Chains A and B, each alone.
Chain A
Amino acid sequence: MSERLSDSSDEALGRRLATDLPRYAAPARLRAAIVEAAAPPRPRRAFWLAPALSALATAAVLVLVFLPMLPRIPPADPTERLVRSVVAEHTRALMWGTRRAEIIPAALPWLTRESGIGLTRAFVGDDRLVFVGAEPVYLDGRRGMALYYRDGEGHLLTYMVLPAPGLPLPERRRVQVDRFKPALMQDSGFSAWVWRQGDLACFLVSDMVSQADLERFKDYFVRVRVATEPVPAY
């Protein structure tokens, strides 16, 4: 150093301060910490969100568990209501079998007495449908009769007759099958042909719902329809 700092001028001392004093650069971690502090805070999840989601999930599970146990609202339409009852009976027979299957025509007098319905002719099966049994039923406050058949592929068919004077058939559901025009209705994954014979309502229920099954179901309907003649017995 040629000049003593203690003797230097104000300008010279100022220059030496600018050039000789070490400069300290901010460490990278400090810069990172400040940048992080400057970043907008992440949106905090609301404190109530987790318990609310948990409660919703629990409620959803409970609904799924208890939904099948809840009473179903019966349809306002009397035909649909009756179809639902018939399908429920068909389902019961499908799962548990008939209560007291009888063979016709031997049991016809007893069946007529119990159901209030007589059969002047009855379809007792053929090469496509095997007669399984017959029993009296009580549905929707009406006594009736059920005949069960099974086809070669194991489909159970339930033919049911119930007294239902003036039961309306939904026109838009009616299908021309051979020389008949029954209504094809669906309920709970089952198909049902519905038609009237006098004051009696007749049903043929099966789980044949696909388009391919439907043609066969039509054929079964014709077989049962032409060979069965129910009449009110009392």
Chain B
Amino acid sequence: MATGDFERQALQHLDALYNFAMYLTRNPPEADDLVQETYLRAFRFSHRFQAGTHLRAWLFQILRNTFLTFYRLRERESALAEDGVPDWDVPMFHDAPDDTAGAMEAHTDLERAMHRLPEEFRTVLLLAEVEGMPLEEIARVMSCPVGTVKSRIFRAKERLRALLRDYETG
């Protein structure tokens, strides 16, 4: 694929990637950075992209990996105890960052509940239900088998319902 074609096709997914980044980071400036970093990496490694495969899945995969890399690094740094020994209880799949100044405000219970889901649940629901991605593409984005994707979708919806129930019962 010619470089110009690749860039043009990649930019068609900008809004979807930004939306995904907003739900991952819950912070517009961080979403900006994340999307920009994603495109920089995609352009840099465009030669590795296999024409004919799903560009959208490839871009989402880069974005998610970038997010996990940076946020895991941040979590790991913050998880160091005062004596410098790492805290091994840091969960593999962590929640999104806590509310901070400038963080995106949730307007509905559904949005609020989504923000409280662990990242792998939030991602799988966003890709499957909001972006309408087939299971195979989601599996590629999340680097896991299709069966795992199905399982996560099921568990994510269960978790979401539980959170919504909490909001509804006040």
Contacts and interface: CB of A to CB of B under 8 A. Distances in A.
A34 B128 contact: no
Contact of A6 (B22, B129, B165): B165
A203 B132 CA distance: 103
Contacts, number: 82
Given A5-B109, A21-B114, A23-B19, A10 B154 contact: yes
Contact of B36 (A8, A20, A33): A33
B149 interface: no
A37 B14 CA distance: 14
Contacts of B109: 5
A72 interface: no
Interface residues of B, number: 36
Interface string B14-55: 110111001000001001100110011001000000000000
A4 B40 contact: no
A94 B165 CA distance: 114
Interface in B82-140: 107-111, 114, 125, 128-130, 132
A22 B111 contact: yes
A18 interface: yes
Nearest to B8: A38
A27 B31 CA distance: 11
Interface residues of A, number: 28
A31 interface: yes
A26 B165 contact: no
A17 interface: yes
Nearest to B154: A10
B38 to A, nearest CB: 9
A40 B162 CA distance: 50
Given A5-B164, A35-B11, A14 B18 contact: no
Contact of B18 (A26, A33, A37): A26
A13 B157 contact: yes
Contacts of B125: 17
18 contacts: A5-B110, A6-B161, A6-B165, A14-B128, A18-B129, A24-B19, A24-B22, A24-B31, A25-B15, A26-B15, A26-B17, A27-B18, A30-B18, A30-B36, A31-B11, A37-B43, A38-B11, A38-B39
Interface of A: 4-8, 10, 13-18, 20-27, 30-31, 33-35, 37-38, 40
Given A25-B19, A30-B18, 18 more contacts: A4-B164, A4-B168, A6-B161, A10-B157, A13-B129, A13-B160, A17-B125, A21-B111, A22-B111, A23-B19, A24-B18, A26-B17, A27-B18, A27-B28, A31-B14, A34-B35, A37-B39, A37-B43
